[in-house]
Amino acid sequence: MSPHDDHPALNRLPPWVKAKLSSKAVETIVKVHDWVETECIPAEPIMKAQLVENRWKTPQLMKDLRKKAKSNGLFNLFLPKHFGDLSPGLTNLEYSCCAEIMGRCYWAAQTMNCHAPETGNIELLAKYCNEEQKKKWLQPLLDGDGCSAYSMTEPDRATSDATNIACRITREGDTLIINGRKLYGNALWNEDLAFYILMACSDPDNPNQWKRHSTVIVPANSPGLTMKRNLTIMGYDHAPEGHGEYVYDNVRIPAANIILGEGRAFEIAQGRLGPGRIHHCMRLIGQTERAYELALIRCIDQRKKPRGKLIGQFDSNIERIASMRLRLDSMRLVVLNAADVMDTLGNKAGRYAIAQSKILVPEMAANIIDECMQLYGGQGLTQHTALPEMWTYARFVRIADGPDAVHRHQVGRDQLKTAEGFRNRHEAYQRRYQELCEQWGVPYETF
């Protein structure tokens, strides 16, 4: 029994998860909880106010919180054990517990350098860069100096099948020249953005379609790289990070900026996304818990009494609350299971569990937050609450990092491969039934 067993940071965790947490992890989860509750959530309106002054500059509050989180040992918590001293040594399961708490405030993960796309980018650079590249590009990100973006999606291609990526890299001696268009990747307008990790086509005629693409680092200040506009997500500009729409017009970078080697982008892309996907899901559960809390508060609001009853006194709403609670708890089980499978069997073996999270959680979360807006009434659709932003987050996670439809397709295809085994089993039932009919003198019937 840990002294923290009753702490609100842990009280929604199932017993099998608590049993797997190291005492160091419990301390960290509690610390993250206290950080988010006291330094982040109460400061949300201040962050908004500072952004009004300058939409594309990182607010001073964020800068201060990042410094403070770093000095409190709350930086880079997502880093796996192979980072040595830099890593807090949390398992995926342990970090997932932290990620849910971070998710309670949309930007809290960023205060701890645990936000997307930084976490995925840091892991990519650490895994695939040479020592010189690590010093130049990875170390500043680990230190929290500057940030990076990931650039893969294109407006003119179905990027969920990345073999379609058309943005072109050509080589002239030791220089790479890039031409094409890209969608998404943090906005160039924010001066803290240092570079893009770009996936583009370097060898279109290679007979092996998995070797046609390369991943390269493009400094944000490269001549010829322009951001046409910021993409709004369902009306939100997501400043000061944003999402850019880019044109690469003869952008020149040194060949030394190729990661891992020419034509090896797919090896890199494969290694990038496993843990990041479940971090998004856990943060989303944190957001959904907050939406749920807002709805509960509304249910007992004495000022809101249609037909003389509190919102929470209507039977239909009591059932709604139960359904939300059950779905929230089941989402958590699904994601924690995925984290545990990754810890115990590896990311590859965790493919189904990761897909399960990616398919179920954003859709269910959007549905729950939608119900919360309904309970809240008209105000729930306005800026008086964060519910519309929370819903938008849930909606966009269905597409960001790869559409849920692709995971469904994969799961469905794998499931169809099991059909033959079931047919054999049912044929065995039938044969046994025939034997039993003979034994018991019952006519054998087939349909």
Residues that bind ligand FAD (CB under 6 A): 117, 150-153, 158-160, 184-185, 233, 243, 396, 399-403, 405-406, 409
Is 146 within 8 Å of 192 (Cβ atoms)? yes
Residue whose pair of structure tokens reads 């693409």 in the numeric block: 213
CA dihedral angle for residue 92, residue 95, residue 100, residue 101, rounded to 10 degrees: 170
**Residue 240 or residue 312: which is nearer to ligand FAD going by CB?**
240
**Cβ of residue 413: shortest distance to ligand FAD, in angstroms?**
9
**Residue 164 or residue 434: which is nearer to ligand FAD going by CB?**
164
What tokens appear for 34 in the block? 């206290």
**Cβ of residue 399: shortest distance to ligand FAD, in angstroms?**
4
Which residues, 6+ apart, have CB-to-CB distance to 270 below 8 Å?
Answer: none
Cα 234 from Cα 216, distance rounded (Å): 30
Among 271, 174, 161, residue whose Cα is nearest residue 215: 271
**Residue 243 or residue 283: which is nearer to ligand FAD going by CB?**
243
**DSSP letters spanning 220-262:** TT-TTEEEEEEPPBTTB--TTT--EEEEEEEEEEEGGGBSSST
**Cβ of residue 255: shortest distance to ligand FAD, in angstroms?**
22
**Residue 245 or residue 301: which is nearer to ligand FAD going by CB?**
245
Q: At what angle do helices 23-35 and 92-102 cross, to 10 degrees?
A: 10
**Cβ of residue 155: shortest distance to ligand FAD, in angstroms?**
8
Cα 240 from Cα 186, distance rounded (Å): 9
Among 129, 171, 149, residue whose Cα is nearest residue 259: 129
Among 230, 190, 237, 241, residue whose Cα is nearest residue 392: 237
**Residue 88 or residue 275: which is nearer to ligand FAD going by CB?**
275
Which residues, 6+ apart, have CB-to-CB distance to 289 below 8 Å?
Answer: 12, 100, 104, 328
What is the sign of the dihedral through the CA atoms of 279, 285, 288 and 293?
Answer: negative
Residue whose pair of structure tokens reads 């000095």 in the numeric block: 71
